[in-house]
Structure 1
């Protein structure tokens, strides 16, 4: 027990915790900072003392002593997008209880702007950066990571200070197209993502791979350009319908585009899935509540944000990191049905 009686309102100090746990104050400090290599018994004693005494460390003071700002920077591309919103939920949960706060900026899908935002975050002395997608070159990301560690999504990076997480878009799109093919569809329209976007190109590749495997000819006139937003899906399906081509299914390169496609079909009196089947890609939370609920490819967006945060904090602390991310999977709901 502590060797003096503390008043009810007097805060518990690090020295009190050290006395209670029977270790030195420096050991408690190093355990809190994640830099101590101590026995399991000592660590448990410190953790027990912290819990019983309800010790709340001064995170700012800890940061100043360790040379850290206790902030991380997050670069998103579109703050209003539900795609990034789901990932940010994972980031937020990953930071809970760590003492770290986040600073969020937007790159707006512009490589120069992304670079400018990263420089801004580095100037503010963040301890690390999470880069969610984007168009800045990998080489430039690695250069920035020489200053502070960076974890990036949508990229294949693996260095001591830069780690990337990249999902298999080709395989995910293949699963989507194959699902429609297995339901008997042969003429499958495809609404693309934006030009010069890697994810969009890979999803079109997966779509074409599934057609090729099933010996279905690829028809360029069944492909309509989109840009991953609802309005582009609406415009794309209108263009396809205006050509009066026959197709029984539509694969939209993401869920937002699929929402636009669904609206366009509804306005033309075309039923989903009775007349045309529809599948998206992402499995955004709202896709469960469309009318009818959208069949889609599930991306572990929340898990990606959570893992990116844990990985970045591991890089900051100099610890080994586990970069295993769940894969993509088909979520069959009510917008697809077997051909009759």
Structure 2
């Protein structure tokens, strides 16, 4: 075999089966006994055989790729979701094609057109700003699953952001805080609106006045928001940040203004990124199971490709209490 690539004929001879049996194992479109299948797979491993994916795609009418659109390739949260998507797809014989929309509607539209042009078999879209009807139109006939956003008539992997922000705010109220500021997320994002609504509902239910300031989803957004609060003399003993990255920026700005967490100001994030448990102090936050959500999206979109009703598990937002929250000083 040295000097040339193994062929189906070589695999058949090694496994002691017909070439037709090898073909059935490779395409998966006919029943093969477990014994013969194992023999073929063992022979493929022994001979370092790699199937021709282009030929397999022509036989199946697929490219065995799934396009994945994310607002931000560098985002820790979306990175965890993408890792879940990639791991699940790889385990089922598919590859992910990633593209970034950069939180801009036209960039998102062009990215989807690119993924469609690359002949992806299906699409998974994470967050983003492109309106739902436009997203569906851009996807065309391709199966589509969204994560942390919705689109008309399309299956979605979602989290109850309203509930998450509400329980985070209620945690602070229970501790005795009354002057609680919310740093908002990226304008125009569905999760931003839901978290703001959850914060407001908790505040008004307690008879408190909501105070929300513009923010975003990055560390510098949190830093600027705290400078804005301090510069305008807004009384604040606790902060509900749009996400963990914003909370880390807010933490730095609070220190710059001489405020300690949690002695002077309590701080809550959202996402439960792996790094925040190592912050000083460890960050109280709302956990969303990002990797698991990515895995669920991959299973759902492959189910659509096979004509099955997608399984859409319900994911709950869970408050994780750590050292960054405490009762306000008397």
| TM-score under structure 1 length normalisation | 0.85
* Corresponding position of 2:77: 83
Paired residues of 1:82 and 1:284 also in contact (CA < 8 A)? yes
Paired residues of 2:11 and 2:44 also in contact (CA < 8 A)? no
1:125-204 alignment, distance < 5 Å: 125-157=119-151, 159=153, 162-204=154-196
Distance 1:24 1:14, change over 3 A: closer
Any idea what the Cα deviations from partners look like across 1:211-260, whole Å, max 9, x if unmatched?
Answer: 233x22224xx321101111111111111122333322111111111111
* Corresponding position of 1:66: 60
2:212 corresponds, among 223, 248, 253, to 223
Select between 328-337 and 238-247 the one with higher mean Cα deviation. Answer: 238-247
Distance 1:333 1:117, change over 3 A: same
Paired residues of 1:94 and 1:309 also in contact (CA < 8 A)? yes
Paired residues of 1:12 and 1:53 also in contact (CA < 8 A)? no
Report the 3-state secondary structure (helix = DSSP H, G, I; strand = E; otherwise coil) of the residue aligned with 2:155: strand
Deviation at 1:143, TM superposition (A): 2.7
Paired residues of 2:179 and 2:235 also in contact (CA < 8 A)? yes
1:315 corresponds, among 301, 304, 326, to 304
1:36-47 alignment, distance < 5 Å: 36=30, 38=31, 42=32, 44-47=34-37
Any idea what the Cα deviations from partners look like across 1:256-315, whole Å, max 9, x if unmatched?
Answer: 111111001111221101111100111112212221111110111111111112222222
* Corresponding position of 1:25: 20
2:201 corresponds, among 193, 209, 213, to 209
Deviation at 1:168, TM superposition (A): 1.0
CA distance in 1, matches of 2:123, 2:24: 24
Distance 1:47 1:174, change over 3 A: farther
* Corresponding position of 1:296: 285
CA distance in 2, matches of 1:309, 1:157: 17
Deviation at 1:196, TM superposition (A): 2.4
Distance 1:53 1:292, change over 3 A: same
CA distance in 2, matches of 1:21, 1:95: 31
CA distance in 1, matches of 2:307, 2:271: 33
Deviation at 1:203, TM superposition (A): 0.4
Report the 3-state secondary structure (helix = DSSP H, G, I; strand = E; otherwise coil) of the residue aligned with 1:190: strand
CA distance in 1, matches of 2:256, 2:296: 41
Deviation at 1:11, TM superposition (A): 3.7
Distance 1:264 1:94, change over 3 A: same
Structure 1 unaligned runs (5+)? 1-5
CA distance in 2, matches of 1:114, 1:129: 13
Distance 1:34 1:266, change over 3 A: farther
* TM-align CA RMSD: 2.8
Number of paired residues? 325
CA distance in 1, matches of 2:202, 2:16: 62
CA distance in 2, matches of 1:21, 1:87: 43
Distance 1:325 1:50, change over 3 A: farther
1:254 has 2:246 as partner: no
Distance 1:155 1:23, change over 3 A: farther
Paired residues of 1:31 and 1:43 also in contact (CA < 8 A)? no
